[in-house]
Amino acid sequence: MFPALMLVLRESRDIPDPPLGSDKRESNVMTVKRLTAGFISTVFAWLGVATSALAQSTVGGAPTDKGLWLQDAASEQAQKISDFNELLLWIIAAITVFVFVLMFYVMWRFREKANPTPSKVTHNTALEVIWTAAPVLILIGIGVISLPLLYWQDQIPETDMAIHVTGNQWNWTYNYPDYGDIELTANVVPDATFTNASARAAAEEELSSFLGWPAKLNARLLDTDYRVVLPVNTRVKVQLTASDVLHAWTVPAFGVKLDAVPGRLNETWFEANKTGVFYGQCSELCGKDHAFMPIAVEVVTKEEFARWVELQGGTITAENNPTSLGR
The confidence score (pLDDT) of residue 319 equals 54
The CATH homologous superfamily of the domain defined by 161-320: Cupredoxins -  blue copper proteins (2.60.40.420)
The confidence score (pLDDT) of residue 58 equals 60
The confidence score (pLDDT) of residue 327 equals 53
The confidence score (pLDDT) of residue 299 equals 95
The confidence score (pLDDT) of residue 317 equals 65
Domain range annotation of the chain: 3-50, 76-115+124-154, 161-320
Instruction: Find, among 77, 79, 54, 62, the residue nearest to 298 by Cα.
Output: 62
The DSSP code sequence of 289-306 is TGGG-EEEEEEE-HHHHH
The confidence score (pLDDT) of residue 35 equals 47
The confidence score (pLDDT) of residue 70 equals 87
Name the pTM for this structure. Answer: 0.73
Half-sphere exposure of 234 (CA within 13 A, CB side): 23
The confidence score (pLDDT) of residue 314 equals 86
The confidence score (pLDDT) of residue 321 equals 55
The confidence score (pLDDT) of residue 42 equals 47
* 3-class state of residue 120 by DSSP: coil
Is the Cβ–Cβ distance between 309 and 179 less than 8 Å? yes
231-253 tens-digit pLDDT: 999 999 999 999 999 999 999 99
Question: Residue ranges of the chain with pLDDT lower than 70?
Answer: 1-58, 317-327
**pLDDT over 70 for what percent of the chain?**
79
